[in-house]
């Protein structure tokens, strides 16, 4: 992935996606969970984990606290991490180069939503 130009200079860099993927793979291999990790099952697991993250914000008003119940706040990071773990695991098993897919998708979105037409607008690209 390209370096983030907005990153704090001198701040230590965290692990890259490849390193995180290796950690997830090693975790799963140590537990012999690969037999359960078909792309189909992992896609479903990703949806479930994203749903658990979403559930923390259920019934929140847009101008109110996010999440609406303060005791849920510590769970947000846990559920976000679960989503990332499932996504990395899915991409690893499905043969998706997530870094390349990210760069490609962001470039295509930039072409679909040029700043001069899309800034501050909520319409889909076909409606601009």
Query: What pLDDT does residue 57 have?
Result: 93
DSSP label at residue 13? P
Query: What pLDDT does residue 11 have?
Result: 63
pLDDT tens by residue, 15-56: 899 999 999 999 999 999 999 999 999 999 999 999 999 999
Structural tokens at position 75:
């769970």
Quickly tell me which residue has 């992935």 as its tokens: 1
pTM for the model: 0.83
pLDDT tens by residue, 70-92: 999 999 999 999 999 999 999 99
């Amino acid at each position: 992935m390209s370096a983030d130009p907005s990153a704090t200079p001198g701040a230590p860099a965290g692990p890259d996606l490849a390193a995180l993927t290796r950690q997830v793979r090693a975790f799963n291999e140590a537990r012999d969970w690969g037999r359960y990790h078909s792309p189909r099952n992992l896609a479903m697991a990703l949806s479930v984990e994203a749903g658990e993250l979403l559930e923390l914000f259920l019934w929140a008003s847009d101008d109110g606290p996010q999440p609406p119940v303060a005791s849920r706040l510590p769970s947000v990071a846990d559920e976000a991490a679960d989503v990332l773990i499932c996504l990395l695991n899915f991409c690893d098993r499905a043969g998706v180069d997530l870094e390349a897919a990210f760069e490609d998708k962001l470039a295509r979105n930039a072409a679909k939503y040029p700043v001069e037409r899309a800034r501050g607008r909520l319409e889909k690209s076909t409606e601009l």
